[in-house]
């Protein structure tokens, strides 16, 4: 006999896109998407929900409305050492209790528009029945320039070290988030860094090559240019437990990737699709 639970990782596009919205901390593009019944229903159905880009008020309030009894997110406060405007934008909501929670920022410097961003990770140990699941969510440096790729390679190495230092040996582990590495066409350096960081993990969705950012079929993603090709930027990596009850993936799919129903104009939940995983517990 086995039980199952739903895990979901989603970059909700909760960043301010104008100077005015940044200064007010409110004013995301198409803010009504955070009130849409379909978006709420999909996120409510997840037993463990990891979100990225919880920056502007509409996104933070959406996360706060989740009915999950256990929630943690990074604050959006200014930090001075190192100087960073806002938080990492990461949050974890769970229907199961947290055993441990911690967070930290990646080692600076970052580059480009994210030079003063607090890029980092959020870790929660979640007790799901007889299983303790280590969950790490993150959002890496963005950008296509070699300098951004070098920062991502460094951040991936720090993630690998985090798994070794914070996750209990033998526990099931999930590392997820927006890695900003296009899995369809990674550079050799990033491919090597990704493989090293996730050695021993299964890339859920990797076999299907799921595109999570598709400007051709998503009006929010098309803001980057309709000429852009579909990209695979979001990941869920899974390492099964080596002791105790078994945990294994049953289904992997995209969610919140289609046009939202019941709206006259094209409206999308985010510029990124969510990755939804059903896991079984023996």
Q: Would the pLDDT of 174 be above 80?
A: yes
7-36 pLDDT per residue, tens: 999 999 998 888 787 778 899 999 999 999
122 or 84, higher pLDDT: 122
Q: What per-residue confidence (pLDDT) applies to 195?
A: 95
176-232 pLDDT tens trace: 999 999 999 888 999 999 999 999 999 999 988 999 999 999 999 998 665 678 999
Helix axes 188-197, 146-166, angle to 10 degrees: 10
pTM for this entry:
0.95
CB 273 within 8 A of CB 212: yes
Report the length, in residues, of the chain: 282
Helix, strand or coil for residue 102? strand
Q: Region 82-111: what's the mean pLDDT?
A: 89
Distance, CA of 76 to CA of 85 (rounded, Å): 8
What is the C-alpha to C-alpha distance for residues 123 and 101, in angstroms, rounded to an integer? 6
What domains sit in the chain, N to C, each tagged with a CATH number?
A: 3-281 (3.60.10.10)
- In the structure, what pLDDT confidence band is assigned to residue 83 with cuts at 50, 70 and 90? low
Q: For residue 277, which of 255, 256, 251 has the smallest C-alpha distance?
A: 251
- The number of beta carbons lying within 10 Å of the beta carbon of residue 152 is 25
**Per-residue model confidence (pLDDT) at position 117:** 77
User: How far apart, in whole angstroms, are the C-alpha atoms of residue 142 and residue 11?
Assistant: 13
User: What is the pLDDT, as a whole number, of residue 155?
Assistant: 96
pLDDT at 1: 39
Token pair for residue 32?
A: 């009504």
CA dihedral 137, 143, 144, 147 (to 10 degrees): -100
> What does pLDDT average to over the chain?
92
**Whether 269 contacts 30, CB under 8 Å:** no
Q: Are 53 and 76 in contact (CB under 8 A)?
A: no
Per-residue pLDDT, 2 = 57
Residues linked to residue 178 through DSSP beta bridges, in sequence order: 139, 234
Query: For the chain, how are helix, strand and coil distributed in percent, rounded to 5?
Result: 25, 30, 45
Report residue 96 as tokens.
């199961």
Distance in angstroms (rounded) separating the CA atoms of residues 32 and 216: 22
Work out the angle at residue 132's Cα, subtended by the Cα atoms of residues 131 and 138, and round it to the nearest 5 degrees. Answer: 135
Element (H, E) at 44: helix 37-44
Query: pLDDT tens across 217-258, in order?
Result: 999 999 866 567 899 999 999 999 999 889 999 999 999 999
Contact at 8 Å (CB) between 233 and 180?
Answer: yes
Tokens of 73: 């997110």
Q: Is 160 helix (H, G, I), strand (E, B) or coil?
A: helix
Model confidence band, residue 85 (pLDDT cutoffs 50, 70, 90): low
Q: What is the pLDDT of residue 81?
A: 66
pLDDT, residue 176, reads 98
Q: Where are the beta strands (DSSP E) in the chain?
A: 3-11, 48-52, 70-73, 79-80, 83-84, 91-94, 98-105, 120-128, 131-139, 172-178, 202-204, 234-239, 247-255, 274-281
């Amino acid at each position: 006999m086995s039980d199952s639970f739903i895990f979901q990782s989603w970059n909700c596009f909760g960043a301010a896109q104008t100077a005015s919205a940044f200064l007010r901390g409110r004013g995301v593009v198409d803010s009504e998407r955070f009130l849409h019944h379909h978006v709420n229903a999909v996120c409510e159905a997840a037993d463990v929900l990891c979100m990225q880009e919880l920056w502007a008020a509409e996104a933070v309030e959406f996360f706060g409305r989740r009915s999950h009894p256990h929630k943690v997110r990074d604050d959006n406060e200014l930090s001075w050492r190192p100087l960073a405007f806002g938080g990492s934008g990461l949050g974890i909501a769970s229907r199961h209790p947290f055993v441990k929670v911690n967070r930290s920022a990646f080692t600076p410097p970052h580059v480009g528009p994210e030079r003063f961003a607090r890029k980092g990770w959020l870790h929660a140990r979640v007790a799901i029945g007889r299983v303790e699941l280590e969950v790490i969510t993150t959002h890496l440096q963005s950008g296509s320039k070699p300098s951004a790729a070098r920062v991502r390679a460094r951040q991936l190495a720090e993630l690998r070290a985090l798994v070794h230092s914070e996750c209990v040996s033998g526990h099931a582990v999930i590392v997820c988030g927006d890695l900003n590495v296009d899995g369809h066409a990674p550079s050799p350096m990033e491919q090597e860094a990704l493989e090293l960081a996730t050695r021993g993990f299964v890339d859920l969705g990797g076999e299907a090559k799921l595109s999570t950012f598709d400007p051709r079929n998503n009006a929010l993603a098309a803001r980057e240019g309709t000429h852009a090709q579909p990209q695979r930027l979001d990941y869920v990596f899974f390492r099964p437990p080596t002791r105790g009850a078994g945990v294994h993936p049953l289904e992997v799919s995209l969610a919140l990737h289609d046009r939202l129903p019941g709206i006259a104009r094209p409206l999308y939940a985010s510029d990124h699709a969510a990755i939804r995983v059903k896991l079984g517990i023996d």
